[in-house]
């Protein structure tokens, strides 16, 4: 998979990809992540990429011209399955969406800033709009990092145990059950006996029951 991220703040994005699972995925050659500074695609003075809104109003708007140049340049080199815009009013990111995106070959992620992008960008170039929650960030970079993490960890070979991602919360519409490790007892707090029994059918049954109960208690909306 190749991910091209268009941003005005590439330095804000680099660190998540220089550590842990994302770094390992890149080093294994399982994914390529490239950052493109939008300011490299403008002819305006001071590398300007934003301007005042037509009709007045508070907040600057990212101009269509540098975005068009950057996307057109990338598309001249390869085809893309999706051109994603990170925006608070996009579809909320969920596990099903991440699963689908992890199967793609090439994607572009455009990070919004200021008041957003010129609507013509959304109309002409964007194929999917994604939000990481019903709140507003200073820019799309942190949302893009979250999106990349959810996608990349699902690519076969990224996690040491490939079945781990399949048992995460939301994969089956439920939250994950409680998990425990050694010691089996700590300050009077004990691990459930069933997990120490070695009876794996019983353990799976317990986990399913716990996942359902936890979902009912914490996220009943998932069961609707």
Per-residue pLDDT of the chain (224 residues; tens, 9 = 90+): 999 999 999 999 999 999 889 999 999 999 999 999 999 999 988 899 999 999 999 999 999 999 999 999 999 999 999 999 999 999 999 999 999 999 999 999 999 998 999 999 999 999 999 999 999 999 999 999 999 999 999 999 998 766 666 667 677 889 999 999 999 999 999 999 999 999 999 999 999 999 999 999 999 999 98
Strands 189-190 and 185-186: antiparallel
Contact 115, 53 (CB under 8 A): yes
- Three-state DSSP at 106 gives strand
Predicted confidence at residue 19, as pLDDT, reads: 87
Tokens 């699963």, residue located = 99
Residue 82 and residue 102 in contact, taking contact as beta carbons nearer than 8 Å: no
Count the Cβ atoms, other than its own, within 10 Å of residue 11: 10
Write down the pTM of the prediction.
Answer: 0.90
CA–CA gap between residue 22 and residue 196 (Å, rounded)? 34
Provide the pLDDT for residue 163. Answer: 61
Give the model's pLDDT for residue 188. 97
What is the per-residue pLDDT for 1? 98
Is there a contact between 60 and 52 (Cβ–Cβ < 8 Å)?
yes
CA-CA distance, 4 to 55, in Å (whole number)?
Answer: 33
What is the structure's pLDDT at 209?
A: 96
Asked if 33 and 147 touch (Cβ cutoff 8 Å), the reply is: no
Both tokens of 50, joined, read 């934003």
**pLDDT at position 162, please?**
61
């Amino acid at each position: 998979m190749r991910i091209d991220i268009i941003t005005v703040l590439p330095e804000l994005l680099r660190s998540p990809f220089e550590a842990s699972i994302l770094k390992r995925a890149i080093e294994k050659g399982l994914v390529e992540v490239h950052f493109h500074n939008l300011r490299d695609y403008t002819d305006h003075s001071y590398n300007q990429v934003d301007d005042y809104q037509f009709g007045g109003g508070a907040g600057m708007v990212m101009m269509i011209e540098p975005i068009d140049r950057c996307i057109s340049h990338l598309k001249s080199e390869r085809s893309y399955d999706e051109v994603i815009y990170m925006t608070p009013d996009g579809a909320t990111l969920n596990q099903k969406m991440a699963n689908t995106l992890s199967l793609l070959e090439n994607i572009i992620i455009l990070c919004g800033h200021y008041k957003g992008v010129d609507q013509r960008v959304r109309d002409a170039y964007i194929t999917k709009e994604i939000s990481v929650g019903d709140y507003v960030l200073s820019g799309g970079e942190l949302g893009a990092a979250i999106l990349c993490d959810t996608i990349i960890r699902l690519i076969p070979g990224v996690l040491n145990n490939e079945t781990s991602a399949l048992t995460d919360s939301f994969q089956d519409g439920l939250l994950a059950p409680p998990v425990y490790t050694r010691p089996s007892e700590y300050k009077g707090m004990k691990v459930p006996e069933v997990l120490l029994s070695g009876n794996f059918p019983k353990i799976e049954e317990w986990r399913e029951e716990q996942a359902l109960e936890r979902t009912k208690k914490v996220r009943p909306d998932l069961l609707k």
